[in-house]
Structure 1
């Protein structure tokens, strides 16, 4: 590893542009982050405690929630500390750790949503064989593919990034991301080219390909809905609507974030702050809310546990 780079201190310039609004920003971040943690932990406990929710769909949802907490926790506690202490610097090592967790959040959310789309596809087109297809072993294999493979790929990405020699130390953001750190390299070196090529391969394999698979799944589901009877159509829509809302929300947030990373030098820091919100806080906060509102089983389970708690009290 490049030892000299690890001694570099990186500076976030976006914090300087919000001096007068730091207290307001801290309050908003704190309240939304706490709401995010409470909502996600509540749904995780609900799935864990209610054995009727021990099904593939909710196991995947549980992993999606854990992943959302990892992503939001990798960003917002550090942001709040910087806002409180008025310190806008970080070590290069801490920056690489943040890159690992934020990249893992983005990629694993995408792959988990793909696995969840496959689960919905099987439940709609092969309902009688669903339990035969979605066995515990199959669920473990899907989770292994959705989580472990992306994590190993991200480890490779962070390792390559750590090898790039740095000649600059200023990031026009409030957090570290791989593209911004790669932009601090000393010119167009072989290491930076290899890192960029590896990143492009990851984007194609773990972001674009899963996105296309989900879209193809929903093309098939929409075609089924158009041909189905009224009752079957309503049941299919109720089954898929939470996933569709979550998928569209995260896909739009990802699109805006990727686009901004390519043109961030030409846009004000306020845009960066807004997009950081939409990518690292809004989706993890919305996941439990959307599934809690749209999913009958979760609503029933929550009502059942709530009544039991009141009865005990």
Structure 2
């Protein structure tokens, strides 16, 4: 009987030693971003065949403890679908290996609305026009029961900082912007600026993470002169008018060509016959005759009449001879008969 008691006591001592040899998890923490929550912990790297159980404790008039994950091999447990935004929670984790378990390890108190980390805006778009930078922001995406940050916190704002490329130490900040689309003014023309944005929840004085920098080069902020606008309009009108005239001219000539090639009216039959019959012109027949035609001549008589008067000094005589000389041949008038 005495020996049995001794053996039972020794077995209990051995069992306690074995139970105490299974180390507990370490660094139990909650990783939460944009209202999502994951319980994480560390454990011995050399441990094998070890599973874990995680529970959470909250108070609703009385203390309630529920199991979040049981018999898992991963060193994390997703709590997003189990928690309420406005609750206060404590989490416990222990390691298990067969019939052996480690002591429970408890995390610090956690509140989703207070302790979650707000991520950067899901998108930051920057465009440039008229010397300004036009910024467009989108809220961070949450996975908490299809709710947005505005559904939980009521309203959110943005802090925007910007600087010249290469001069980040001279950052300028525009705070508490409640619009998703706005413009950054008072910028230098043709200068590259970089922009970052973060969410700001004023009611909780909670600031999110900054987005990645987006860089754009500004353009000129000068307005287009009126004379340039009018000149452009006039030139455009003249070019259009010239194009219309050119198209009209080309079309008209094409129409004339088609009308000439394919006339709509037909020649009368007697015209066609006249044009197709061989020619009967005497001239044409004479040209076709190889024999030279016989010349026809008529005799012509030429009668010359001498000049009526010739003035010699103060006397005038009607004769063909003066002082026994005949008039030259070139002074005679000839009539051909």
* TM-score bin, normalised by smaller chain: under 0.3
- Larger helix fraction of residues: 1
Structure (1 or 2) with the greater strand fraction? 2
TM-score (normalizing by structure 2): 0.18
Structure of higher RCO (CA pairs closer than 8 Å, 6+ residues apart)? 1
Structure showing greater radius of gyration is 2
